[in-house]
Amino acid sequence: MAGNDGLSIGALARRTGLAVSAIRYYEAQGLIKPWRNAGGQRRFERADLRRLSFVMIAQQFGFTLPQIKAELDRLPGGRTPTPADWADISAGFRAALDSRINTLTRLRDNLDGCIGCGCLSLDKCALYNPQDRAAEKGTGPRYLLGDLPAR
């Protein structure tokens, strides 16, 4: 399949800092797709270094493996991804991170009021949530999630 000797799983582990078992797990999840050399050994493209680095970084940002796989599936097969390919993926992740940052900012800015009140959109709060109106908007702490109290 590949025109070069590729990287062994051990070389990939040394370069990424991942355990061989983790690389095998990511392979089983479809995040990387090694090929076999004439001797039947797994071989990885150099681009798999970037893919695995992306996986590790994306996991640190809180993305799930299915989310990461969906993005990696957008990359071209059979060639090393270009900067433009990575920029397309980054744009989608940037939007998700911006949304998460906005939610965390609202949480930080409103947390003391809600924790002080103790309601978190339950029916006990006559000030922010009379007759449990927040329940009509959905589950969870609706006002911390961005919903506005009814006037």
Give 94-115 pLDDT, tens digit per residue: 999 999 898 888 777 766 665 5
Q: How far apart are CA 132 and CA 134, in angstroms?
A: 5
Q: Provide the CATH topology of domain 1-81.
A: Multidrug-efflux Transporter Regulator; Chain: A; Domain 2 (1.10.1660)
What three-state secondary structure class fits 140? coil
Distance CA 77, CA 87 (A): 17
For residues 77 and 19, the model is more confident at 19
Instruction: Tell me the per-residue pLDDT of 13-30, one tens digit each, with 9 for 90 and over.
Output: 999 999 999 999 999 999
Residue 39 vs residues 10, 35, 77: alpha-carbon distances, Å = 16, 11, 23
For helices 65-72 and 83-117, angle between their N-to-C axes, nearest 10 degrees:
150
44 versus 79: the higher-pLDDT residue is 44
DSSP letter (8 states) at residue 129: -
Residue 123 pLDDT exceeds 70? no
- Please state, rounded to an integer, the average pLDDT across all residues of the chain: 83
0.85 exceeded by pTM: no
* CA R_g for the chain: 23
The Cα–Cα gap between 129 and 117 comes to 11
| DSSP per residue, 1-44 | --SS--B-HHHHHHHH---HHHHHHHHHTTS---EE-TTS-EEB
Range with lowest mean pLDDT among 62-66, 88-92, 97-101: 88-92
What is the model's pLDDT at position 133? Answer: 76
Identity at 128, one-letter amino acid code: Y
